[in-house]
């Protein structure tokens, strides 16, 4: 065996030892309920505190956070499937920005088509709780897109700025599933299901959707839609019937949204920052940017242990498609 092969073997053994030690430690942390190592590995503790000076200033500090990508819990360790949004890190960033004594207000830049109903609602509620606890204002700036769940989250803001070309609105709920029955019939695949109740295989893709199932799913959509309408009515101080006239799922430009009362101002990020400075009576504020984390080393390392099939993301995609999910997302 030549020297290159010995070096390759040595590197492999080192990585194997690191993986074994970290896996053992991680399981121990899980069993003990200790979040320190988990937070480090997943980025929730260390990355949520990562800031850089976005703009120098002689006054007190404002935080700039960015909500970018599809708002969903990122359960995949595959970096090829990552949308760049990390739900737990973002929630922690919000908490850190509000709790820091040197930060007097928050500017949230939203660039998202929306996402999961649960995650969007969790962000909205977290912001409302933090605002009540720390008495700090939050201003939203909508950049390219702040639609559906992105708009839902923005309803927690004290003021909303949008670019004139921003795509926003899309107030509504969608749930989608697929039916494979005809394909299965063609290739000779038959479904065999044993269930404890009539609706246990709700939306089984191997048979047609029946009327009772349609009614069940529509009731879920209607319930979440009602929450959305109420949130908009409260956030924009509008009559609920007025919101209903606007909430048919369509998108609006920033200018249209301003004319309809869905945002406060048409402007740019600097104007949104100045708006937050005005709310906090801060002159020439220093702007601290909370940096968005990319895929971390641990995620990359775990993905390299997966079979090639998983590296392509096919298994993950198929598993996600099998489970319908309520979404606040622009379609």
Which pairing describes strands 286-290 and 265-266: parallel, antiparallel, or unpaired?
Answer: unpaired
Res 313: pLDDT: 46
Q: Is the pLDDT of residue 307 over 70?
A: no
* Set 25, 133, 195, 200: catalytic member: 200
* Set 112, 143, 148, 154: catalytic member: 148
Binning pLDDT at 50, 70 and 90, where does residue 2 land? low
Mean pLDDT across 12-39: 54
Res 49: pLDDT: 75
Res 84: pLDDT: 75
Question: CB–CB of 116/327 below 8 Å?
Answer: yes
pTM of the model as a whole: 0.79
Which pair of structure tokens corresponds to residue 259? 């004319």
Q: Which of 64, 58, 61, 53 is nearest to 93 (CA)?
A: 64
Res 122: pLDDT: 98
Whether residue 104 lies in the annotated active site: no
Per-range mean pLDDT, top range of 12-26, 28-42, 205-219, 228-242: 228-242
Question: CB–CB of 306/128 below 8 Å?
Answer: no
Domains annotated on the chain, with CATH: 49-173+207-329 (3.90.226.10)
Within 8 A by CB and 6+ apart from 25, the residues are 37
Higher pLDDT, 44 or 180: 180
Question: CB–CB of 211/204 below 8 Å?
Answer: no
Res 251: pLDDT: 97
Res 79: pLDDT: 43
Residue-wise pLDDT for 254-299, tens only, equals: 999 999 999 999 999 999 999 999 999 999 999 999 987 655 544 4
Residue-wise pLDDT for 190-226, tens only, equals: 989 898 998 898 888 889 999 999 999 999 999 999 9
Res 249: pLDDT: 95
Hunting for tokens 């996600």 — which residue is that? 320
Question: CB–CB of 123/91 below 8 Å?
Answer: yes
Res 327: pLDDT: 83
Whether residue 200 lies in the annotated active site: yes
End-to-end CA, the chain: 57
Higher pLDDT, 49 or 81: 49
Task: For residues 323 and 327, give the distance between their C-alpha atoms in angstroms, rounded to a whole number.
Answer: 12
Res 102: pLDDT: 95
Q: For the chain, give the mean pLDDT.
A: 83
Binning pLDDT at 50, 70 and 90, where does residue 164 land? very high
Three-state DSSP string of the chain: CCHHHHHHHHHHHHHHHHHHHHHHHHHHHHHHCCCHHHHHHHCCCCHHHCEEEEECCCCCEEEEEEEECCECCCCCCCHHHCCCCCHHHHHHHHHHHHHCCCEEEEEEEEEECEEEHHHHHHHHHHHHHHHHHHCCCEEEEEEEEEECHHHHHHCCCCEEEECCCCEEECCCCECCCCCCHHHHHHHCCCCCCCCCCCCCCCCCCCCCCCHHHHHHHHHHHHHHHHHHHHHHHHHCCCCHHHHHHHCCCCEEEHHHHHHHCCCCEECCHHHHHHHHHHHCCCCCCEEEEECCCCCCHHHHHHHHCCCHHHHCCHHHHHHHHHCCCCEEECC
Res 320: pLDDT: 47
Q: Is the pLDDT of residue 35 over 60?
A: no
Question: CB–CB of 110/143 below 8 Å?
Answer: yes
Binning pLDDT at 50, 70 and 90, where does residue 322 land? very low
Within 8 A by CB and 6+ apart from 257, the residues are 162, 166, 168, 169, 263
Q: Is the pLDDT of residue 75 over 50?
A: no
Instruction: Choose the weakest-confidence range: 45-49, 242-246, 306-310.
Output: 306-310
Which pair of structure tokens corresponds to residue 26? 């991680």
Question: What's the CA angle centered on 131, arms 138 and 233, to 5 degrees?
Answer: 75
């Amino acid at each position: 065996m030549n020297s290159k092969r010995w070096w390759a073997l040595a590197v492999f053994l080192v990585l194997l030892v690191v993986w074994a030690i970290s896996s053992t430690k991680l399981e121990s942390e899980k069993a003990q309920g200790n979040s320190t190592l988990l937070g480090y590995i997943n980025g929730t503790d260390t990355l949520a505190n990562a800031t850089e000076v976005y703009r120098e200033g002689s006054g007190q500090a404002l935080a700039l956070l960015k909500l970018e990508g599809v708002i969903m819990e990122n359960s995949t360790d595959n970096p090829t499937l990552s949308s760049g949004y990390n739900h737990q890190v973002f929630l922690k960033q919000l908490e850190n920005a509000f709790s820091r004594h040197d930060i007097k207000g928050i500017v949230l830049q939203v660039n998202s088509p929306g996402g999961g109903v649960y995650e969007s609602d969790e962000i909205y509620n977290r912001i409302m709780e933090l605002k009540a606890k720390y008495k700090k204002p939050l201003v939203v700036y909508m950049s390219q897109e702040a639609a559906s769940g992105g708009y839902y989250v923005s309803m927690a803001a004290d003021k909303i700025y949008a670019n004139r070309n921003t795509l926003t609105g899309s107030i509504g709920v969608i749930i989608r599933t697929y039916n494979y029955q005809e394909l299965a019939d063609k290739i000779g695949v038959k479904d065999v299901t044993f269930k404890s109740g009539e609706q246990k295989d709700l939306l089984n893709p191997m048979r047609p959707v029946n009327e009772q199932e349609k009614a069940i799913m529509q009731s879920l959509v209607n319930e979440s839609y009602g929450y959305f309408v109420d949130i908009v009515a409260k956030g924009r101080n509008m009559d609920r019937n007025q919101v209903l006239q606007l909430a048919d799922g369509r998108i609006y430009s920033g200018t249209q949204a301003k004319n309809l009362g869905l945002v406060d101002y048409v402007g740019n990020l600097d104007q949104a920052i100045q708006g937050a400075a005005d709310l906090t009576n801060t002159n020439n504020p220093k702007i601290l940017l909370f940096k968005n984390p990319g895929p971390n080393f641990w995620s990359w390392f775990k993905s390299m242990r997966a079979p090639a099939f998983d590296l392509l993301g096919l298994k993950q995609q198929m598993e996600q498609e099998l489970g319908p999910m309520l979404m606040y997302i622009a379609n």
